[in-house]
């Protein structure tokens, strides 16, 4: 394992270079503002006169069209959604690349699965915060940062790693530490984590627990507190102290009950399905499915969003979050 911190980085490597951040969503906003305030020459590439264009200008950033930003930049940092990166690259970036440029990402998806094929005479790098954009910005403003990942897929200039690390320092990531990885490892583990644990697995577990209690006749509001609301408290403990620290901080009853029953929830069948999900990611089956879905206008995703919005736990949760002052 190789970790990099501020002492390992020379920010001057970007002193006379222009970094174009393509996109101004959660990560685009956070990373561009952080790098700008760290003294880097940052431009933001956006669709002209869109809502993000005005917001970025109001935030004090130099805003250009994607084409003009790519032309002006030495480093093109692509932070738009995965499913549109390939098309935007072909339309607005590819023909504006120059020898020795760096094509940079915060997720390896489009490079690893071949939706973007860059010319041989440019660097391909990744600097990826391990946290949402709001947290990247908040921790930077507080004088710290979130941890990050760094990877080099192609080192044409011989200093691609140093360029990526300098961007990481500009975003505040080297304050917490940046771990070296590969495009393959980052992409496949990220997709697996999202699907099997963080987003897919967690929400299904919460929904199943909630529905089990409601079907048994308990109040939906009580079921929500026990299966969803309090989960944040447990995750925060694990985040700060690990499993052992969490078990130490909960009651002995909770510790024994959790340890004694958890394998009845996550069974061998569940683990086998996790391996299958990982294989679908590794072979590209998932990315082909997602490409077909987006090319068709995302009909399945829209249906799934509708189904999710109609769940009882969503309606109960919205009401309770409002009553507790957590949501307006």
In CATH terms, the fold of domain 3-181 is: Rossmann fold (3.40.50)
Residue 47 has pLDDT above 80, yes or no: yes
| 133 marked ligand binding residue | yes
State mean pLDDT over 306-314. Answer: 95
Banded model confidence at residue 40, pLDDT cuts 50, 70, 90: very high
Each residue of 130-151: pLDDT tens digit? 999 999 999 999 999 999 999 9
State mean pLDDT over 58-81. Answer: 97
In DSSP terms, 195 is beta-bridged to none
| 50 marked ligand binding residue | no
Residues 37 and 43 sit within 8 Å (Cβ to Cβ): no
Residues 22 and 28 sit within 8 Å (Cβ to Cβ): yes
| 230 marked ligand binding residue | yes
| Strand-strand pairing, 18-22 and 41-46 | parallel
Percent of the chain past pLDDT 90, that is, above it, reads: 95
Question: How far is it, in rounded angstroms, from Cα 77 to Cα 25?
Answer: 13
Main-chain dihedrals φ then ψ at residue 224, nearest 5 degrees: -65, -45
Banded model confidence at residue 3, pLDDT cuts 50, 70, 90: very high
**Coil vs helix vs strand at 296:** coil
| 52 marked ligand binding residue | yes
Question: How far is it, in rounded angstroms, from Cα 284 to Cα 96?
Answer: 29
| 312 marked ligand binding residue | no
Residues 102 and 160 sit within 8 Å (Cβ to Cβ): yes
Q: Exposed/middle/buried for 211, CB within 10 Å: 0-12, 13-18, 19+?
A: middle
Told to judge if 107 belongs to the known catalytic residues of this protein, a careful annotator would answer yes
State mean pLDDT over 152-175. Answer: 98
| 25 marked ligand binding residue | yes
Residue 49 has pLDDT above 90, yes or no: no
Out of 77, 107, 112, 229, the active site residue is 107
Q: Which residue has the tokens 């990877």?
A: 151
Task: Give residue limits of the domains in the chain.
Answer: 3-181, 191-323
Query: What is the pLDDT, as a whole number, of residue 324?
Result: 81
Each residue of 180-201: pLDDT tens digit? 999 999 999 999 999 999 999 9
Whole-model pTM: value is 0.93
Nearest to 45 by CA among 61, 27, 23, 18: 23
Helices (H), 199-251: 200-215, 220-224, 231-249
Measured CA distances, 193 to 50, 72, 176, 186, 235 (Å): 33, 36, 21, 10, 15
Query: What is the pLDDT, as a whole number, of residue 260?
Result: 97
Q: Which two structure tokens, joined as six digits, stand for 199?
A: 């987003």
Query: What is the pLDDT, as a whole number, of residue 278?
Result: 98
Each residue of 314-327: pLDDT tens digit? 999 999 998 887 77
Q: Which two structure tokens, joined as six digits, stand for 294?
A: 């987006």
């Amino acid at each position: 394992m190789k970790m990099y911190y501020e002492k390992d980085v020379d920010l001057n490597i970007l002193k006379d270079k222009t970094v174009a951040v393509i996109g101004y969503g959660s990560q685009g906003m956070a990373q561009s503002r952080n790098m700008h305030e760290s003294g880097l020459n940052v431009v933001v590439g956006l669709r002209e006169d869109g809502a993000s264009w005005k917001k970025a200008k109001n935030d004090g950033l130099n805003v250009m069209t994607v084409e003009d930003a790519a032309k002006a930049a030495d480093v093109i940092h692509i932070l738009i959604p995965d499913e549109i990166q390939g098309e935007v690259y072909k339309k607005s970036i590819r023909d504006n690349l120059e020898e020795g440029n760096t094509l940079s990402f915060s997720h390896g998806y489009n490079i690893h699965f071949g939706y973007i094929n860059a010319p041989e005479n440019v660097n391909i790098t990744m600097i990826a915060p391990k946290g949402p954009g709001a947290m990247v910005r908040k921790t930077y403003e507080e004088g710290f940062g979130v941890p990050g990942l760094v990877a080099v897929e192609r080192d044409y200039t011989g200093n691609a790693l140093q360029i990526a690390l300098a961007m990481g320092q500009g975003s505040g990531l080297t304050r917490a530490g940046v771990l070296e990885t590969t495009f393959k490892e980052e992409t496949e583990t990220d997709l697996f984590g999202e699907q099997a644990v963080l987003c897919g697995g967690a929400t299904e577990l919460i929904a199943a627990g909630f529905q089990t209690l409601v079907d048994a006749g308990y109040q939906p509001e009580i079921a929500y507190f026990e299966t969803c609301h309090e989960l944040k408290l447990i995750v925060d403990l694990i985040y700060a102290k690990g499993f052992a620290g969490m078990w130490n901080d909960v009651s002995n009853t909770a510790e024994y009950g959790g340890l004694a029953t958890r394998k009845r929830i996550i069974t061998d069948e569940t683990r086998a399905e996790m391996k299958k999900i990982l294989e679908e990611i590794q072979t590209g089956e998932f990315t082909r499915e997602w490409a077909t879905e987006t090319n068709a206008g995302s009909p399945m995703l829209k249906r799934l969003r509708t189904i999710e919005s109609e769940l009882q736990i969503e309606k109960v949760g919205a009401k309770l979050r409002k009553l507790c002052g957590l949501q307006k």
